[in-house]
Structure 1
Amino acid sequence: MPSTFSPTPASIPPKSPRLALRQPKGLPANFQPLNPLQFILRAAEIYPDKLALVHSDVKYPVHYSFAVWCQRIQNLAYALIQAGINPGDRVAVIAPNSPLIADAHHGVLAAQAVPCLINTRLKPSEVAYILDHSASSIILVDHEYTHLLPPTLKVRVIVSNDTGRSGDPYEEFLSSGRAYSQERGWAGLEYNPDENAPATLCYTSGTTGRPKGVVTTLRGSYLAAVANAYESRIHLESTYLWILPMFHAAGWTFPWANVFGFATQITLRTVDYPLIWKHFLNSAVTHYCGAPTVQIGIVNDPAAKRLPRPISAIVAGAAPTASLIASLEKIGIQPIHVYGLTQYGPFTRNFAQPSWASLSPQDRSTFMARQGHPFATAQDARVVHPPKDGDDTLVDVPRDGKTVGEIVTRGNIVMKEYFRDPEATAKAFRGGEIDFYHILHKLIFWSTGSFNTGDLAVIHPDGAIAIVDRSKDIIISGGENASSLAIEQELASHPCVLEVSVVARNHVKWGERPHAFVILRPKSIAKWKGRHDAFEKELKAHAKGRLPGFACPEWVQVVDELPKTSTGKILKVDLRKIVAKL
């Protein structure tokens, strides 16, 4: 980082500040509501001078210690309160990985408000819907994404030019917060007395209709962050590289997990593989998160090579193939395979067993591709039979690794509700009831059941869960259920396949048959140029030796790219639209 950078005057904390919020009245001495805001205060107290946040690959690089960053977060809280934000209000945030969105994960909570984190890849019409549905009271937006805002807005908009320098509208907003605080410091802000109050509001992609707003809680976010730090082994010497967007499920709670572990965080505005490798090789990176498609891009980048030190990759968003796991390990990237939802992110992990060390790489990778067991702070993760008509009783499938059921879960790392949508909330929970109560003029509801994930899986004798597919992605061919995931796993083992996605396509005789979309490895493109028909025959022959006949692809289509979400997850809904026209 350039030594010439200096934080704005308002970002410099006073000497020996008291880093504690004002405690609400009436709390017993043996109870403290859980809140991930505690982590930044603790980090600034214990390691004030440690490098906390680095934003280097931009026109105006910045870097903040925990002490300085903590002051900036405090300034944001006061600025929001000065702007009229009340406890429970939503604060919309539209930004790539940058100090703005990193600040918001803490500063909005400090104002007892709720960050509404919006995907920067959405269309203006989708952003307008979210802003309206969330009833956001103020908008914090990065300068590159102001075009997403509706032309007529009735709420205040704060633009960040991502400079960290005086004169930047966002920096001036923070400075106004510092002035408004009158140096009351953290003691002038009250600790949220309700650990079940909303922590974040993140909207689903809306692939099956309007996006739904997922509400998480302070308690759940705290426990999910602690679990992620523990399961990923994030600690004082860790350096985390931000590849996963922080707006996606609140960055799987890693904006808090990293602070809990006192790690240094490096932010990247975009997924740029040369930049990623620059940091891998020169910035002492120890951890990052990414979906399998992002991992594929990393291992196949021209700069990819054996790393001088191991890096842990938290892999989620889709099940990694055995060949991908082997490719990561080959260059010194240790995959930590986790599984989760668009809520808090991961809640299960594949826990490696000592006996796997004696297995062949292929066999070991197959075991590592399972979704595993619940996190330390999670609760149940069960695989249950489909419900019978009129009966919501949960019946577990046998632990035989063969019987397919749906994953359901309950416990600390499960969303609270869908925002302003009690019907969708009730539908999402099974095996219990949604109870509604009016408490202090607020509508409170919670579930006594389990959350339906929609993921189909088996459970092995050791209790490890292994996903076979999403319920909507199962291909029913001639009365047989074919897992698109299982097909993809086997097709990905072909040496010329870089990436593959399989969807159902209508078939006159069999009802449905698999249609495979394939991206070739860069080294194989020339080999099959003008000969895609020949490649299709070869891949089908490869599949026949590994899959039952009904699961073998009927069609193979070579493509240059696949439609993906902001996290790199393949949009199968777009692929289904393509095959529907064929």
Structure 2
Amino acid sequence: MSSDPRFASINFTPTPASVPPQGARLSRKPLVNVPVNYHPLNPLSFILRAALIYPKQMVYTFSVWAQRIQNLAYALIKAGIRPGDRVAVIAPNSPLIADAHQGVLAARAVTVPINTRLKHHEVAYILEHSGASLILVDHEYQHLAKDAKVPVVVSNDTGRSGDPYEEAFSQERGWPGLDTDPDENAAAMLCYTSGTTGRPKGVITTLRGSYLGAVANAFEGQINKDSTYLWILPMFHAAGWTYPWANTFAFSTQSIIPTYGTTFLHSGVTHYCAAPTVQIGIVNDPQAQKLKRPVVAIIAGAAPTPHLIGELEKTGIKPVHVYGLTFEDFITLIARNPQTYGPFTRCYDQEPWKDLSLEDRARFMARQGHAFATAEEVRVVAVEEGSDVLVDVPADGKTLGEIVTRGNIVMKEYFNDPEATKKAFRGGCFNTGDLAVMHPDGSISVMDRSKDIIISGGENASSLAIEQELASHPHVLEVSVIARNHVKWGERPMAFVILHHQHVSRWKGRHHEFAADLKAHAKGRLPGFACPEWVEVVPELPKTSTGKILKTELRKVVAKL
């Protein structure tokens, strides 16, 4: 994998332990007593296949990486890690966490990736709740593992002999000495919610689900051997939406860099994943300019506005709009905090759209679309009163219901929480908590989170729909809308707005005039009950580690008004 300057350099020399011996076999111990027409799905097979077919691809080659992963697996086993044990990883995007996503599976253990932006007490709770037996930590985040009651291995991220992480590697013993997990439904990852509204919950995902999620992401994102994937999405976030395995499946080059400001202009990057707020920063960067070659942007984490999709296209960035749920997506719905393996639907381009204007085409592309090839169909349902029976709403593009699905890329369960698992799987489906409509063509459009709907004078107003229209104002860089109590109407929308950099000076000291201008803009696009009653210009919006806006924090602000 291509990485920071150390890995980007053509002079990079792997440590002796990272060099595979001549004739090394790239297969694990074969299973016995299994049918000839069956093998358990496991994303670990992708790196072995990549090392076999393209051993010399990338500066940090597949063959070297496969050797390092094998060494890590043996080191974990030597340290006492047994099948099913949990190994915590506290690291930003770096070789350490990339190794761990593969090497922990090779030891048949379960990875617990931990958000580096959490507080020490939150990390301590996750370590205790998960029952982690060992911690792998980047040197910059050692303080988060302070006072840990289990062994801690520190990486100085040098890749050289003498680094504690490199020294922890065992000597060559060969892939055939590592057992193959016979159960494809065994736990692969244990990811945690951010803990913003209570104790974090652990989400168990499986080898099978990770495999199928990775295959789907590579296919839907059109990633292949000639692709270079830029890591913007944190790998600790829901296992990086399975992209650590999707990229090895696709034989693509991976790039990890500290900043990405001009990367699209001066590198071979072809793909990246990021939430809409990150995409907004990219297209509005002062150095942004029309790209000479197309770059694919996989957008998820929140619904992009048609305006953002249009701006990406103008820059030469092709949006691939996908939808799914991860542990940070539902910090406001902890009681019903289910998870998929990142995306499970995609908005597929349709032939008639090519003749539309950019604005009209962008509105279609802002839909959440249809289910992935490896996912079960996505439904929009209403729940019958007093029962768990799920009834599909009419496919009329108007009737509101909740998105549900089931199948390959839905989480297995909440760790040690059967009651929460039962609630998440009400009616035999995975209940997302997202409200949507089903269009006549079978595609879905998210209208809002169930807790983000604004009920004004008995009318339901979608905060997402309001945001999409406000974002079309030429001076709005980013906007978030939430409900605020109103004496007469019960609730009314309040908009928090970040102005475009080039328009900040124009409205300095005149934010009340901008508010009036934005309200006038809204009145031509929205019904009266959906127009913002209040507009607050702010320098920034509270966000998660992946750039998702934290409406929970905005509600705290509004509660004090």
Q: What range is the shorter-chain TM-score in? A: over 0.9
Q: Which residue of 2 aligns with 1:373?
A: 370
Deviations 1:113-166 (A, max 9, x none): 0000111111111111111100000000111111122x4222000111111111
Identity %: 72
Q: Which residue of 1 aligns with 2:305?
A: 321
Deviations 1:546-582 (A, max 9, x none): 1111111010000000000000000000000000000
> What is the letter of the counterpart of residue 310 of structure 2?
A
Where does 1:131-170 land on structure 2 (aligned, <5 Å)? 131-149=127-145, 151-170=146-165
Counterpart contact for 2:383–2:389, Cα < 8 Å: no
Q: Which residue of 1 aligns with 2:410?
A: 414
Q: Name which of 479, 486, 493 aligns with 1:514.
A: 493
> What is the letter of the counterpart of residue 166 of structure 1?
S
How far, CA to CA, are the matches of 1:196 and 1:382 in structure 2? 25
Q: Name which of 24, 28, 35 aligns with 2:35.
A: 28
**2:396 corresponds to 1:400:** yes
Q: Which residue of 1 aligns with 2:476?
A: 497
Which ranges in structure 1 are unaligned for 5 or more consecutive residues?
Answer: 52-62, 432-448
Q: Which residue of 1 aligns with 2:334?
A: none
**Alignment partner of 2:209: what SS?**
helix
Q: Which residue of 2 aligns with 1:456?
A: 435
Counterpart contact for 2:191–2:202, Cα < 8 Å: yes
Q: CA deviation at 1:208?
A: 3.2
Deviations 1:397-426 (A, max 9, x none): 000000000000101010000001101000
For these two proteins, the number of residue pairs brought into alignment is 541
Q: CA deviation at 1:207?
A: 3.3
Q: CA deviation at 1:204?
A: 1.5
How far, CA to CA, are the matches of 1:323 and 1:100 in structure 2? 38
How far, CA to CA, are the matches of 1:365 and 1:492 in structure 2? 13
How far, CA to CA, are the matches of 2:84 and 2:383 in structure 1? 37
**2:222 corresponds to 1:233:** yes
Q: Which residue of 2 aligns with 1:217?
A: 206
**Alignment partner of 2:391: what SS?**
coil
How far, CA to CA, are the matches of 1:206 and 1:468 in structure 2? 25
> What is the letter of the counterpart of residue 320 of structure 1?
P
Q: Which residue of 1 aligns with 2:168?
A: 173
Q: Name which of 232, 241, 246 aligns with 2:235.
A: 246
How far, CA to CA, are the matches of 1:295 and 1:138 in structure 2? 36
How far, CA to CA, are the matches of 2:93 and 2:409 in structure 1? 24
**Alignment partner of 1:395: what SS?**
strand
Where does 1:308-387 land on structure 2 (aligned, <5 Å)? 308-342=292-326, 343-387=340-384
**Alignment partner of 2:168: what SS?**
helix
**Alignment partner of 1:472: what SS?**
coil
Q: CA deviation at 1:387?
A: 4.0
Counterpart contact for 2:274–2:299, Cα < 8 Å: yes
Q: Name which of 67, 71, 75 aligns with 1:71.
A: 67
> What is the letter of the counterpart of residue 164 of structure 1?
G
**2:529 corresponds to 1:550:** yes
How far, CA to CA, are the matches of 1:69 and 1:246 in structure 2? 17
Q: CA deviation at 1:3?
A: 3.2
**Alignment partner of 2:60: what SS?**
strand
Q: Which residue of 1 aligns with 2:331?
A: none
How far, CA to CA, are the matches of 1:38 and 1:501 in structure 2? 42
Counterpart contact for 2:467–2:481, Cα < 8 Å: yes
Counterpart contact for 2:325–2:342, Cα < 8 Å: yes
Q: CA deviation at 1:376?
A: 0.4
Q: CA deviation at 1:535?
A: 0.2
How far, CA to CA, are the matches of 1:10 and 1:278 in structure 2? 35
**Alignment partner of 1:578: what SS?**
helix
> What is the letter of the counterpart of residue 351 of structure 1?
Y
How far, CA to CA, are the matches of 2:290 and 2:99 in structure 1? 34
Q: Which residue of 2 aligns with 1:562?
A: 541
How far, CA to CA, are the matches of 1:489 and 1:18 in structure 2? 54
**2:183 corresponds to 1:187:** no
How far, CA to CA, are the matches of 1:207 and 1:379 in structure 2? 31
Q: Which residue of 2 aligns with 1:442?
A: none
How far, CA to CA, are the matches of 2:322 and 2:200 in structure 1? 24
How far, CA to CA, are the matches of 1:44 and 1:490 in structure 2? 48
Deviations 1:480-504 (A, max 9, x none): 1110000000000000000000011
Q: Which residue of 1 aligns with 2:269?
A: 285
Q: Which residue of 2 aligns with 1:470?
A: 449
Q: CA deviation at 1:507?
A: 1.1
**2:248 corresponds to 1:264:** no
**Alignment partner of 2:102: what SS?**
helix
How far, CA to CA, are the matches of 2:136 and 2:308 in structure 1? 38
Q: CA RMSD in A?
A: 0.9
Q: Which residue of 2 aligns with 1:92?
A: 88
Q: CA deviation at 1:209?
A: 2.0
How far, CA to CA, are the matches of 1:364 and 1:571 in structure 2? 29
> What is the letter of the counterpart of residue 169 of structure 1?
P
**Alignment partner of 2:254: what SS?**
strand
> What is the letter of the counterpart of residue 307 of structure 2?
S
**Alignment partner of 1:64: what SS?**
coil
Counterpart contact for 2:370–2:377, Cα < 8 Å: no
Deviations 1:432-480 (A, max 9, x none): xxxxxxxxxxxxxxxxx10100000000000001000000111111111
How far, CA to CA, are the matches of 1:262 and 1:233 in structure 2? 12
> What is the letter of the counterpart of residue 485 of structure 1?
L
How far, CA to CA, are the matches of 1:229 and 1:208 in structure 2? 33
How far, CA to CA, are the matches of 1:456 and 1:148 in structure 2? 37
How far, CA to CA, are the matches of 1:202 and 1:475 in structure 2? 31
Q: CA deviation at 1:367?
A: 0.2
Q: Which residue of 2 aligns with 1:440?
A: none
How far, CA to CA, are the matches of 2:217 and 2:384 in structure 1? 32
**2:509 corresponds to 1:538:** no
> What is the letter of the counterpart of residue 165 of structure 1?
R
How far, CA to CA, are the matches of 2:267 and 2:19 in structure 1? 26
Q: Name which of 410, 413, 430 aligns with 2:426.
A: 430
Which ranges in structure 2 are unaligned for 5 or more consecutive residues?
Answer: 1-7, 327-339
**Alignment partner of 1:215: what SS?**
strand
How far, CA to CA, are the matches of 1:236 and 1:351 in structure 2? 22
**2:134 corresponds to 1:126:** no
Q: CA deviation at 1:10?
A: 0.3
Counterpart contact for 2:486–2:492, Cα < 8 Å: yes
**Alignment partner of 2:451: what SS?**
helix
Q: CA deviation at 1:27?
A: 1.4
